[in-house]
Amino acid sequence: QAAAGGGRAALRACGVHNVCRLLSRRAHGFYARDAGVAHRKNLGLLRKIMCQESTKFKNVWTTHSASPIAYERGRIYMDNYQCCISSIAQEPRILYQKSKCAKSEKIEDALLLECPLGEMLPNPSDYKASLIVLTVQNWLLRLSADGGEVLEKVYLAGSCCKFFRYLSWDTPQEVMIVKSAQNKLPAAARQAGIQQSVLFYLAVFQVLPLSFIGMLEINKKIFGNSVTDVAVSNGILIVMYSMGLVRLYNFKAILEQFMEQPFDLGQEFNWNGQVGVVGKYPFGLPCNIKIT
């Protein structure tokens, strides 16, 4: 232990301050063993480059927006994702500018989707970057990241859920989670003493090619009355409670154990009294994962 501690102290003493050496160490995986280390090292590299005394900055471009500005890997999105600007060139340039959309087509959330390396994909368009967007009317759209054209569309909301609002990664660039807004009863129902048991719905998708894995509900009867929020990340279902408690569940095990019946997008189904096509309007997606 003393020898190891002395070695680390010596390393800290000499330090690695050269940006090229730090980049080389990163490429060889020196920081891959500990969670968060690579991210911290990347930020350290950025700080070294930006804060050195010899660095000079000049303003090459300015813009303003009344709505929030989003950024995804070299692309700046403005006007609620209606305008896409490439920031990679020496001076930013517009990749596409879509006409103003109606309120019913407003985009609630978005994720940038990039082609996985070394995999055969069914469509030529799958090999180019695309933007997954979620609209206020519960449509999940895959748009071309360079032109904004609609490549795929899936209708989410069936009879069980009416308001999907959030996109996130379970496994980055592999498994995506579409989360509903928190279900709330009308004021009249609450005054009548009716209790809302289902708080959230989670729809799970494999991406590229886009495929439906399943949908489940977060129910107070299963997880407890004090549930306040839920998230999925890296195979873990994270359930948060009002008293500061957080419970972690194996999400893969939940999908495998409580999947009642698998469904594919575009598949016709007659299930639990519902007849329709998976991912098509007005049927949407079935809630086929029932946690008991």
- Give per-residue pLDDT as tens, 39-66: 787 888 888 888 888 888 888 888 888 8
Which residue would you say has higher pLDDT here, 12 or 197? 197
Give me the pLDDT at residue 249, please. Answer: 97
Count helices and strands in the chain by DSSP H and E runs: 6, 17
If you average pLDDT over residues 186-214, what whole number do you get? 82
Neighbouring-strand partners of residue 144: 130
Give me the pLDDT at residue 190, please. Answer: 62
> Parallel, antiparallel, or unpaired: how do β-strands 130-135 and 139-144 relate?
antiparallel
Residue 147 has pLDDT above 50, yes or no: yes
The residue whose two tokens read 């996985």 is 116
pLDDT tens track for 217-273: 999 999 999 999 999 999 999 999 999 999 999 999 999 999 999 999 999 887 777
Ranges of each domain in the chain: 19-51, 156-278
- Write down the H helix ranges in the chain: 2-14, 19-27, 37-51, 187-191, 220-223, 251-258
For residue 244, give both structure tokens: 């500061």
Give me the pLDDT at residue 34, please. Answer: 63
Residue 139 and residue 152 in contact, taking contact as beta carbons nearer than 8 Å: no
Give me the pLDDT at residue 227, please. Answer: 94
Contacts of 90 (CB under 8 A, 6+ apart): 60
Round the CA-based radius of gyration of the chain to a whole number and report it. Answer: 23
For residue 131, give both structure tokens: 């933007």
The span from the CA of 236 to the CA of 65, in Å, is 37
Q: Which of 141, 142, 140 is nearest to 156 (CA)?
A: 140
Name the burial class of residue 274, with classes exposed (0-12), middle (13-18) and buried (19+) by CB atoms within 10 angstroms of its CB: middle
Residue 12 has pLDDT above 70, yes or no: no
Give me the pLDDT at residue 132, please. Answer: 94
Average predicted confidence (pLDDT) for the chain: 84
Which residue would you say has higher pLDDT here, 129 or 228? 228
The span from the CA of 132 to the CA of 139, in Å, is 10
